Amino acid sequence: MAKWIWNRGDFEIYHASLLNNRREDKGHYSAPMWRTDGIRPNALLYKIAELDVPEKLRVHANCACSVRVNDAVYDADTDIELKKGRNFVKIFVYNQTGLPAAYAEGETFASDESWMSAGYGADDLNVGCNDMYLDRDDDPSVFVFRYETLTPVSAEKLNGGTLFDFGRETFGLLHVKNEKMSCGTVDVIYGESREEATDAAHAIITDKFDTSRDGASYRARALRYVFVGSESVTVTLDYEYLPLEHKGRFICNDATVNKIYDVCAYTLHLNSREFFLDGIKRDRWVWGGDAYQSYFCNYYLFNDFDIVRRTTLALRGGDPMTQFTNTIPDYTLFWIIGLYEYYFNSGDIDFLRFACTKLDGIIRLIDSRLDDRGLFIGKRGDWVFIDWADTAKTGCVCAEQVLLYAAYDATAKIYEACGYDGARAFRARADAVADTVNSLFWNERLGAYVDCIGREDRQNVVTRHANIFAILYGVADERKSAIIRKKVINNADIAPITTPYFEFFELDSMAKLGEFGYIRDMLMNYWGGMLRQGATTFWEQFDPSRKGSEHYEMYGRPYGMSLCHAWSASPIYLIGRYVMGVHPTSVGYGTFEVSPNTLGFTDFDGAVPTAQGDVEVSLHDGRFTVTAHRDGGTLIVGGKRIPLGRDESVSCPV
C-alpha cells in the first residue's frame, strides 16, 4: 500500500508551527512566547527497487517534484517504466509554503516507511509517514479531522440578540444563517460559560457578523455558548475531532465517579488533536507538562501511540535547541521522562532510536545550567514553573533537582534500550543528583525536603510539590516517604494543591503510599466539586472557596481560566492504574500486573487497553474477576500472585 512520505520529523514541526500560531485574543493574533521552528523546504526521498518483472511507477507530489530513476529524469504524474532487476528511485520535492511530500505507486513497489530521506551532510534516515495519508489525493500539509453537525439545545432572545447553548463544551466551526437581512455588523461572542458569552468587553474569543449577508462561517473555536447580536439568526456547529476510540472504560456503583470518568474522557478527547493540547479555548498550544500527563491518560483510554509520537516531536522542535520546551526547564525534563514512558508502554524501539537523535541537544542545554554540584540553576529567560503555586522559581529549587534526577534516570534507560554508550554515565549522574538532594534539601527537623536552598527567604519553606516529586520519582526512601506523608501530605498547615495539574502528581504519589482513601476523597470533593459547579468538561484550576463566576477568573482576567483543560483528566489514569490496578512490568506490556483496589466501591466493571489486547477487571459480590485478552499477566490480591492465561477469567475474593 502506498503512503505519502516526507522528511521524518518535519510533519510534526510543520503542524506545530501552524497550531502554535493560531492563538487569538479578541480577534488579534497572539504569538507564542517561544521560537517557532520551520522545516526543510526540500527533500530527497529514495529507495532501490529490485523487481522480478518490469512494472510502471507513478509519482505524485504536493509541490515541485522531479523523479530520477537510474540515469533518466521524469516529472511527477507521468508513467515511469521500472525495468526488471535493480532500479534506483530518487524523488526530489520542494515546497516553500507547505510540507514537501511525495506519493509513489506501482504494482508491487510503492512509497512507505522503508524509504530513506537524504540527510544532506547528516545521517540519512527513514522517511516519515502516517496512516492518515494513504490516498493519492491526500495532502500531508493539511491535518485530517472528522466532522459532525451539532445544533444548539436552546436559543434565548437576549439584549437584542440571541444566546445559543450547545449543552456542553465543544469545539468546531460555527455557521450563522441570517433569516432577515439588515444593515451593519453585530458581535459574535464565544463563551465557555454563559457569563463569558454575554460579556463583550471581557470575552476572549469574538467575531463579527455582517447582517447584510444571508450567513457566514467561522474558523474552528471552543465554546459552549455563543451570542450573536441579532434576533433573526440561527446557528449550527461542525464539531471537529479526531476519531479516537475510547478503548478504556469504567463504571461503578457511584454515579458521581461514573460522571467524573466520562467527563474526563470527553475533556481529554477534545484536547486530543494534531497533538495533545493544554486547552481548546485560550492557548490551544502544545505544552510539555500538560502533554506529559495526557500521555498517561491516553494509555488508559485511547492507547493511541501515534498522537504521543506526534506530540513528542512537536515539543522538541528543530535544532539547534537554544531554549527549553515552552521556555520551561521542568517541561523539558518531562520530555525525557515521557519518552521513556512511551517506550515502556509501547515497546516501540524504532521511534525511541529516532527520538534519541533529538536527546543530545536537550542534554547540552541542561548541562549549560548546572552548577559545580551538578544541580540545575535557571538563568534569565528560563521559566521554572512547577505549578501555579507559591513555590520557588529562582535559585536552587528542590523540585527541579528531583526532575533532573528522573530525567537522568530515564536517559540511562533510553541508552540501555538503544544499546548506546553513555547509559552508565547517566546512571552515575542520576545517583549523584539523588545523593545531593538528600544531603542538601532534606530537613529532619521539618520532616520534609525544603523548597529551595541558597535563598534565606525559602530555605526553611516546605511545600507539597518537592516532597510529592521526591516520593513519586524515588528520591525519598521508604522512611522519608512515611515522614512526608505525616508531616506534609496530611498536614493542613501546608498549602493545599489547587490545580488538577499537580493533583495528578499528588494522587499518584499517594497511591504509591497506599493512601487510597485520600484519592477517593479528592475525586469526590475536587472533581466532584467542579461537577457541582456545572462543569461539562474539567478545568485548568479549581478553588472550592470561590463562588459563582469567580471560578472563571485567572491571569487577571474575568474569563482567563480554561474550562476544558487536558491536565484535569488524570482520574482516567488513576482509576486504570490503581482501581483496576493494571500496569506494565516490562517493556511493551511483555509482562504486566493487575493489582486491583476497591477504593470503597462495591461494584465496578472496566477495561484497560494494551497493544496486544484489553485487560478487563470487575468487582462483584466481594470478588475481583480479571480477564486478560493477552499473555503475560499476573493478578495480585491479598499477597497472592495468580498467573493470567489469555482469555481466561480468574476470580478471587477481595
Judge whether residue 450 has pLDDT over 90.
Answer: yes
Q: What span, in angstroms and rounded, lies between the C-alpha atoms of 299 and 89?
A: 39
* 320 prior amide bond cis, ω within 30: yes
**DSSP character string of 495-546:** PPP-SHHHHHHHHHHHHHTT-HHHHHHHIIIIIHHHHHTT-SS--S---TT-
Give the pLDDT score at 459: 82
Does pLDDT of 121 surpass 90? Answer: yes
* Secondary structure class of 11 (helix, strand, coil): helix
User: Does 501 have pLDDT greater than 90?
Assistant: yes
pTM above 0.75, yes or no: yes
Mean pLDDT for the chain overall: 97
Residue 284 is predicted with a pLDDT of 96
- Mean pLDDT, residues 139-163 taken together: 98
- Angle CA 575–578–580, to nearest 5: 70
Which of these ranges, 266-280, 445-459, 621-635, has the smallest mean pLDDT?
445-459
Mean pLDDT across 586-612: 97
Closest CA to 433 of 468, 467, 466, 406: 406
Residue 425 pLDDT > 90: yes
For the cut 90, the answer to whether the pLDDT of residue 167 exceeds it is yes
> In the prediction, which pLDDT does 184 show?
94
- Inter-helix orientation angle 398-418/464-472, to 10°: 20
User: How large a percentage of the chain has pLDDT more than 70?
Assistant: 100
Distance CA 1, CA 104 (A): 10
Each residue's pLDDT tens digit, 440-449: 999 999 999 9
* pLDDT class of 592 with cuts at 50, 70, 90: very high
DSSP SS3 for 300 = helix
Instruction: Quote the pLDDT of residue 25.
Output: 94
Residue 86 pLDDT? 98
pLDDT score of 275 more than 90: yes
Q: Residue 507 class from Cβ within 10 Å (0-12 exposed, 13-18 middle, 19+ buried)? A: buried
User: What is the per-residue pLDDT for 456?
Assistant: 86
Strands 633-637 and 592-594: parallel
Whether pLDDT at 458 is above 90: no
